[in-house]
Amino acid sequence: MFGGFGGSRRRARLLTATGVAGATVAAVVSVAFAAISKTVVVADAGGDVSGPLDLARVSLQRASDGRLRAVVRFTGTFTPKDLLAASGPPGSTCLRIWTAVDADPRAVRPDRLVCVTARSEDELRGGVYEVRGPALPKRIADASVKRSRSGHSVVIRFAQSSLGSPRRFRFAAESTQPGCERPSCIDTTPDKGAVRVFRLR
């Protein structure tokens, strides 16, 4: 009887120690995940371009499902129809991404683009594109796109694997007015060719 009681106490102590160890591991994993998931935010002054695609803020983080999640906010409201062009190139908003460690963003084009365009007057379309040399960007993966109820923002989610396997990458954002290829029709953030660094691990 007493031996059984002593065995029960030993088992209880063992289970308690195991539980503490498990909680410690979970805490370490949680801290590591939080570090990986740190949000990078870039703000942009309004009024530097005309039209509904005037950038106000861009944020990037790793979402709970493991995908990368970007939120692009504009100073005004927009609809998919605002991206369509009667003639010339369509409007778009894109993340410009440099995955190579030695890439100079001021001298070379990004090797990845994550873009939102319009499929129709009512529907947006997202995709990840690979950029190589002078050729047109090649679509390599889908990106989910959701417009906010207010019409001020669009949320883009895309797989990390679509960027290869960099430990970190540099990025910037831009929006282009439909039917226009002049520099005055393009809004960038950060301004003046600057970029931000996002660490994946």
What's the pTM?
0.80
Residue 158 sits at the vertex; the CA angle it makes with 153 and 162, to the nearest 5 degrees, is: 145
Any bridge partners for residue 199, and if so which?
A: 168
166-194 mean pLDDT: 92
3-state secondary structure (DSSP) of residue 17: helix
**pLDDT-derived band at 28, boundaries 50, 70, 90:** very low
Phi, psi of 164 (to 5 degrees): 90, -135
Query: Dihedral of CA 184/188/191/194: which sign?
Result: negative
54-63, 122-131, 178-187, 191-200: which range is least confident on average?
A: 178-187
Look at residue 33 in the predicted model and tell me its pLDDT: 39
* Nearest residue to 95 (alpha-carbon basis) of 185, 192, 172: 172
User: Is the separation of the CB atoms in 41 and 127 below 8 Å?
Assistant: no
**pLDDT-derived band at 23, boundaries 50, 70, 90:** very low
Percent of the chain with pLDDT over 90: 68
User: Is the separation of the CB atoms in 155 and 74 below 8 Å?
Assistant: no
- The 8-class DSSP code of residue 4 comes to H
* Nearest residue to 63 (alpha-carbon basis) of 182, 125, 144: 144
